[in-house]
A and B are shown apart, each in its own frame.
Chain A
Amino acid sequence: MLDLITGNEAIAWGARLAQVDYVPIYPITPQTEIVEKLSEWAANGLIRARITKMESEHSMITAAGAAALAGARTFTATSSQGLLYAFEMLYNVSGWRAPFVLANVSRGLAAPLTLLPDHNDALAARDSGFLQFYAETCQEALDSVLIAYRVSESRKVMLPSMVNIDGFYLSFTREKVMIPDELGDFLPPYPIPAISAGNMPSMGPTVLDPSVYSYFKYQMHLAQISALDELKKAISDYEKVFGIKRSLIDEYMAEDADYVIVMTSSFATMARKAIKSIREKGIKVGLIRPWVLRPFPRDDLLSALAGKRGVAVFDQDVSPGFGGALYAEIASSLYGAPDAPHIASFIGGLGGKEPTIEEFEFMIRELISPDLTRRGPVMLWTDKDQRILDEQRSIALRGGVVGR
């Protein structure tokens, strides 16, 4: 069925269609709508999942991982501060090899406190062992949840997945979404048997030898690498069953482009608009948007970037003291590649700061005539940004003069 739903609802629909058994919940803006929707469905018998109100995200992720190991298909959701509050458990549950899906509705991290999105929350969890999906649209949000379950639960993977959508920009935006009536055989039955008298495993025990620790940790990396193949199979089956095509690297006007912008998530929609406008000026630009960052689709990315003259990485995050986290990954992938393009790093969209067409134009200009002496990223900061800051500081100072 085709419906007009928010990104949060699309995520909830993904959990509903996957027929999850268990959803431990804890509220946080802008994620809350997801667990409200699931609670409403449960209260009306539309889903059979047991929903438990936890007291923190740390406990919520613990309960989710434990339930996944006990034999229940599990879903949960959080945002930002909540994800960080649960941080210890992210590493634990992936080490347990608990294959559940966690939706993270991105929001900038305090301090200062904000509600609007950037990716410092999700990227902080980059090395936790979770598979990471970054959705641009409501449709892709729903698709991500279903594909995440399929890949996470694959015997070769057995790792949790994080499906990331941007708070407000996607979480509360309604878009047309094709909601499948049923899953067919896209998602096999949950692979972990229920704990029973005859099935009393010992899970997550300590190791007392660095060799054993190294073995298990590296197994998680190998499982992530296996997940690349599993993802491709799942994408192909998803298209067969639902007629929707997804790809690890989404390309827009990129095939003949000389210059490309690389970025993730919903702000890519703004880049598409800018690309159209820049193309009208005769400059061949395009967009390359990785949908999955873990496992990192290096080969697909390299073939998408092959032959480009310049690559502008738009990071909606900042690693203070280095710059852009996404830039680091793209640049390291390109290092040593034959005829690697010039690559430049830009920080923008922090705390939901909408990039303007001018900002994208600036990025492309920087690619056409690069300043090779520049070290580190360029912060996308416009006169308008400065004006807003000045106005607020002058209010704070009761109209006094603000030094620049």
Chain B
Amino acid sequence: MAGDLSIKTIRETPLEEYLHPGSSMCPGCGAQVMIRLMLKVLGPKTFIVNAAGCMTLLQTYPYSNLKSGWLYTAFASAPAGAQGIRDALDSLISQGKARDEGIKILVLTGDGGAYDIGLQATSAAMDRDLDFYYLCYDNEAYGNTGFQQSGASPYGSSTTTSPIGRLNPVGTEKRKKNLFEIWKAHNPAYLATISPSHPLDLMQKVEEAARRKGPKMFIGYASCPTGMGFDPSLSIKVAQLAVDTGVWPLKKYVDGKVTHTIIPRFVPVEEYLRLQARFRHLFDENNPAAKEAIAKIKDEIRSYWKAQGIEAKARHHMVIADGSCCGSCFSSSFLWFSWGIPSGKGKPSSLHTNMEVAML
């Protein structure tokens, strides 16, 4: 993928910032890291159409920490709002009433907005081949309302509406809806999963997508200290483990083909689960269903990767699909580095360029 892209290594991360600190969001929010990186690639002429969800709090009257334009729509219809903005501009441009300045439109919704209430509007926007970007920041529950079960909640996670109790030792009893496959069936111009732990992979995907016209769809792992239950300092680590354990495959769908951009190390999934309060019951010795539940989670990971022709077996180093640096070694320091140093000065001091060496 890195071939003809301008961002070849993490060093080429654009220094410009379009999402600034100062919002009333939770510390350690993985979604914001992804938005910040996406905007670095998309640039200043980006108009954001937001659905009800955590990111609604990025804009609270009269404060804004974004350089982008912003429209808050409603829970179910952010893609329709994007359609209206795109159509208005296209109509005015075609009539000579406005200049084509290459305005990009980015839809932000959480997993509730993408997997559940807004699925219809998203399906239709893809069906109309709307030229836009869509980031679903997926924290696997209705996070902004206090972490209730959504279509994205994985088996075995406890949420406030699938709590652990005497009659339910598992929590969420259904499996995570496969949004990637649902979106893929619409054959969008670009479709990828991303994670805040893999900034280079993320930025390269956004850059690659930007060269295409049509729906450019992203499902991002939104590590969520508040809802998933871990210390904010662990946010990138949890996201990293989601990838490393094979729980969150990083992949893209372009021109009719799915490619996995990162092949996981297949760290035992317990390392990922153990860090999060939503899976705590799976490590409770008194929970009769715990062992079986973890076995089921492992089975699911194994069968997913088996279908990709990959055996989910622990490896000692990370294999990068195209041989470039994925940046993940660097990601655990990425949060403080990127927020802490004033833009223009932020250059990592100990960047590994050879991943094979770095991960050994």
Residue ranges of A at the interface with B (Cβ–Cβ < 8 Å) = 21-22, 24, 48-50, 52-56, 58-60, 62-72, 74, 88-89, 92, 96, 194-197, 199-208, 212
Which residues of A sit under 8 angstroms from B64, Cβ to Cβ?
Answer: 202, 205
The distance from the CB of A131 to the nearest CB of chain B, in whole angstroms, is 20
Expressed in whole angstroms, the Cα–Cα distance for A24 and B128 within the complex equals 12
Given A92-B74, A197-B45, A206-B56, A55 and B87 contact (CB-CB distance below 8 Å): no
Looking across the interface, which residue of chain A has its beta carbon closest to that of B123? A55
A21 touches B88 (CB 8 A): yes
Q: Encode B212-224 as 1/0 by CB contact (under 8 A) with A.
A: 0000000000000
Expressed in whole angstroms, the Cα–Cα distance for A212 and B101 within the complex equals 34
In the assembled complex, 12 residue pairs joining A and B whose CB atoms fall closer than 8 Å, in A order, are: A52-B87, A58-B74, A62-B77, A66-B73, A66-B80, A66-B84, A88-B76, A92-B74, A200-B47, A200-B67, A204-B70, A204-B71
* Most A-side CB within 10 Å, residue of B57, B71, B72, B87: B87
Expressed in whole angstroms, the Cα–Cα distance for A54 and B120 within the complex equals 11
A64 touches B84 (CB 8 A): yes
The distance from the CB of A46 to the nearest CB of chain B, in whole angstroms, is 14
The distance from the CB of B85 to the nearest CB of chain A, in whole angstroms, is 5
Which of B89-97, B307-315, B326-334 is near enough to bind chain A? Answer: B89-97
By secondary structure, the A interface counts as mixed
* Most A-side CB within 10 Å, residue of B24, B49, B83, B120: B83
* Most B-side CB within 10 Å, residue of A70, A204, A206: A70
Residue ranges of B at the interface with A (Cβ–Cβ < 8 Å) = 24, 44-45, 47, 49, 56-57, 59-61, 64, 66-74, 76-77, 79-85, 87-92, 94-95, 97-99, 101, 103, 120-121, 123-124, 127-128
A205 touches B60 (CB 8 A): yes
Looking across the interface, which residue of chain A has its beta carbon closest to that of B57? A206
A206 touches B83 (CB 8 A): no
Which residues of A sit under 8 angstroms from B123, Cβ to Cβ?
Answer: 55
Q: Which of B70, B76, B84 contacts A67 (CB 8 A)?
A: B84
The distance from the CB of B23 to the nearest CB of chain A, in whole angstroms, is 11
Which residues of B sit under 8 angstroms from A64, Cβ to Cβ?
Answer: 84
A194 touches B84 (CB 8 A): no
Which residues of A sit under 8 angstroms from B57, Cβ to Cβ?
Answer: 206
The distance from the CB of B124 to the nearest CB of chain A, in whole angstroms, is 3
Expressed in whole angstroms, the Cα–Cα distance for A197 and B43 within the complex equals 11
The distance from the CB of A249 to the nearest CB of chain B, in whole angstroms, is 35
Which residues of B sit under 8 angstroms from A55, Cβ to Cβ?
Answer: 120-121, 123-124, 127
Considering the complex of A and B, which 10 residue pairs feature the smallest CB-CB distances, nearest first?
A66-B84, A59-B80, A55-B124, A63-B84, A200-B69, A72-B88, A70-B88, A67-B88, A205-B59, A62-B77
A205 touches B61 (CB 8 A): yes
Q: Which of A65, A88, A197, A207 contacts B44 (CB 8 A)?
A: A197
Expressed in whole angstroms, the Cα–Cα distance for A72 and B97 within the complex equals 10
The distance from the CB of B307 to the nearest CB of chain A, in whole angstroms, is 32
B68 touches A22 (CB 8 A): no
A69 touches B59 (CB 8 A): no
* Most B-side CB within 10 Å, residue of A48, A60, A195: A195
Expressed in whole angstroms, the Cα–Cα distance for A268 and B192 within the complex equals 59
Which residues of B sit under 8 angstroms from A62, Cβ to Cβ?
Answer: 73-74, 77, 80-81, 84, 121
In the complex, besides A24-B87, A66-B88, 20 extra interface pairs with C-beta distance below 8 angstroms are A48-B95, A54-B83, A55-B124, A56-B120, A59-B80, A59-B120, A59-B124, A62-B73, A63-B80, A67-B87, A195-B88, A195-B103, A197-B101, A200-B45, A200-B68, A202-B70, A203-B71, A205-B70, A206-B56, A208-B60
The distance from the CB of B230 to the nearest CB of chain A, in whole angstroms, is 27
Which residues of B sit under 8 angstroms from A71, Cβ to Cβ?
Answer: 88-89, 92, 97-98
Expressed in whole angstroms, the Cα–Cα distance for A393 and B50 within the complex equals 51
The distance from the CB of A52 to the nearest CB of chain B, in whole angstroms, is 5
A66 touches B49 (CB 8 A): yes
Which residues of A sit under 8 angstroms from B95, Cβ to Cβ?
Answer: 21, 48
Looking across the interface, which residue of chain B has its beta carbon closest to that of A55? B124
Which residues of B sit under 8 angstroms from A48, Cβ to Cβ?
Answer: 91, 94-95
B101 touches A196 (CB 8 A): yes
A194 touches B92 (CB 8 A): yes
Looking across the interface, which residue of chain A has its beta carbon closest to that of B121? A59
Expressed in whole angstroms, the Cα–Cα distance for A60 and B67 within the complex equals 28
Expressed in whole angstroms, the Cα–Cα distance for A69 and B95 within the complex equals 18
The distance from the CB of A138 to the nearest CB of chain B, in whole angstroms, is 28
Which residues of A sit under 8 angstroms from B72, Cβ to Cβ?
Answer: 203-206
Which residues of B sit under 8 angstroms from A205, Cβ to Cβ?
Answer: 59-61, 64, 70, 72
Given A62-B81, A206-B60, A207-B61, A196 and B99 contact (CB-CB distance below 8 Å): yes
Which residues of B sit under 8 angstroms from A52, Cβ to Cβ?
Answer: 83, 87, 128
Expressed in whole angstroms, the Cα–Cα distance for A201 and B88 within the complex equals 15
Expressed in whole angstroms, the Cα–Cα distance for A48 and B93 within the complex equals 12
Q: Which of A66, A194, A195 contacts B81 (CB 8 A)?
A: A66
Expressed in whole angstroms, the Cα–Cα distance for A189 and B3 within the complex equals 49
The distance from the CB of B53 to the nearest CB of chain A, in whole angstroms, is 11
Which residues of A sit under 8 angstroms from B60, Cβ to Cβ?
Answer: 205-208
B59 touches A202 (CB 8 A): yes
Looking across the interface, which residue of chain A has its beta carbon closest to that of B64? A202
